[in-house]
């Protein structure tokens, strides 16, 4: 339900809109000063580049496509990433129970993609010697792999199962489907901090936010001592939240891209038959 405090109501009405102008609210000079003083780890750079690339990709494709219901071949984002928690708006809202929340989170956490993704992250971190206390070689790779897999799994279970059950929130992503590319992009990005409760009303996405930052705090149990500071913990939680936003962009636009590619493939097949 929306917050009852008058000051929070004003924030609710402002941030809850899908037409929000986020750029006007960012303190860009302060952000640049912070960036100049902060050494951003490789995983942060990788996530940021992925998010920017996704926006540019969908901007060029989605403008000329419609968004019909995807078929089974688009159940995985870019054909490999699990997409168990995406709902088409035209299907209507139907709440899910606690058991299904944990089922969805476990399917995402232990999908084969998760094991491969952790390996890629670990390889990148080892190549740039991120977390040097882990060392190099097979032992260092194993430690990085375990840490990355634990980060993602803990975040999935907390943000997709535990906290949604406690807060009675829906952990799924509901596609906007129609509208301009930038409106849909802002909507997708905002779903990291806004979600529906179990009766379908919009509210602050405490499940995702707390899930990511709790996972970052728990990671201090297995990260090297040099990487357990308060600032580094906040940074890891922010990285997880940024990754959520990037995946939301893919969830919003992948059916458009998939249908565009499938349409082009059908045209190529038809032309080959004619020739």
Q: Dump pLDDT digits (tens) for 79-105.
A: 899 988 998 876 667 889 999 999 999
Given the structure tokens 């995702």, which residue do they identify?
208
**Residue 161 located in a structural domain:** yes
8 falls within a domain? no
Q: Is residue 129 part of a domain?
A: yes
Average pLDDT, rounded, for the chain: 77
Question: For the residues 13-35, what does the mean pLDDT come to?
Answer: 41
Q: Does residue 195 lie within any of the structural domains?
A: yes
Q: Which of 101, 75, 235 is nearest to 156 (CA)?
A: 101
Which comes out higher in pLDDT, residue 267 or 50?
Answer: 267
Euclidean distance between CA atoms 206 and 143, whole angstroms: 30
Q: What is the pTM of this model?
A: 0.68
Q: What band does 43 get if pLDDT is binned at 50, 70 and 90?
A: low
Domain residues for 162?
45-274
Q: Domain tally for the chain? A: 1
Residue 113 neighbours by CB distance under 10 Å: 14
Structure tokens at 12: 């609710």
Position 147 pLDDT exceeds 60: yes
Cβ contact 176:252 at 8 Å: yes
Split at pLDDT 50, 70, 90, the class of 50 is very low
Per-residue pLDDT at 114: 93
CA 184/CA 176 separation, integer angstroms: 6
In angstroms, the CA 169 to CA 195 distance is 7
C-alpha pair distances (Å), 6 with each of 10, 12, 182, 235: 7, 10, 30, 31
Which percentage of the chain shows pLDDT scores above 70? 67
Predicted confidence band of residue 245 (pLDDT cuts 50, 70, 90): very high
For the segment 26-36, the average pLDDT, to the nearest whole number, is: 42
pLDDT at residue 221, rounded to an integer: 95
Does residue 15 sit within a domain? no
Does residue 260 lie in a domain region? yes
In a domain, 158, yes or no: yes
Digit-coded pLDDT (tens) for 177-234: 889 999 999 999 999 999 999 998 999 999 999 999 999 999 999 999 999 999 999 9
Is 257 a member of any domain? Answer: yes
pLDDT for 275 beyond 70: no
User: What is the per-residue pLDDT for 88?
Assistant: 82
Q: Is the pLDDT of residue 5 over 80?
A: no
Share of the chain above pLDDT 90, in %: 56
| Whether residue 121 has pLDDT greater than 70 | yes
Q: Closest Cα partner for 116 from 143, 84, 149, 144?
A: 149
Q: Is the pLDDT of residue 46 over 90?
A: no
């Amino acid at each position: 339900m929306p917050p009852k405090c008058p000051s929070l109501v004003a924030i609710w009405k402002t941030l809850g809109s899908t037409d929000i102008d986020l750029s006007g609210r960012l303190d860009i000079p302060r952000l640049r000063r912070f960036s100049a003083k902060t050494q951003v780890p490789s995983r942060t750079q990788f996530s940021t580049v992925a998010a920017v690339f996704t926006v540019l990709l969908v901007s060029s494709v989605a403008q000329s496509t419609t968004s019909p219901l995807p078929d089974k071949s688009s159940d995985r984002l870019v054909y490999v990433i699990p997409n168990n928690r995406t709902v088409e708006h035209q299907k209507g809202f139907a709440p899910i129970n606690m058991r299904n929340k944990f089922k969805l989170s476990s399917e995402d956490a232990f999908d084969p993609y998760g094991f491969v993704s952790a390996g890629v992250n670990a390889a990148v971190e080892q190549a740039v010697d991120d977390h040097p206390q882990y060392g190099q070689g097979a032992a260092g790779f194993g430690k990085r792999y375990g840490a990355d897999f634990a980060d993602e799994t803990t975040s999935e279970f907390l943000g997709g199962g535990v906290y949604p059950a406690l807060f009675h929130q829906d952990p799924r992503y509901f596609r906007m489907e129609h509208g301009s590319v930038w409106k849909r992009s802002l909507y997708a990005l905002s779903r990291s901090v806004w979600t529906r409760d179990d009766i379908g009303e919009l509210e602050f996405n405490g499940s995702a936010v707390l899930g990511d930052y709790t996972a970052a705090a728990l990671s201090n149990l297995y990260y090297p001592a040099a990487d357990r500071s308060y600032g580094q913990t906040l940074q890891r939680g922010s990285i997880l939240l940024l990754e959520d936003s990037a995946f939301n962009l893919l969830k919003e636009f992948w059916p458009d891209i998939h249908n565009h590619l499938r349409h082009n493939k059908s045209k190529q097949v038809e032309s080959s038959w004619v020739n």
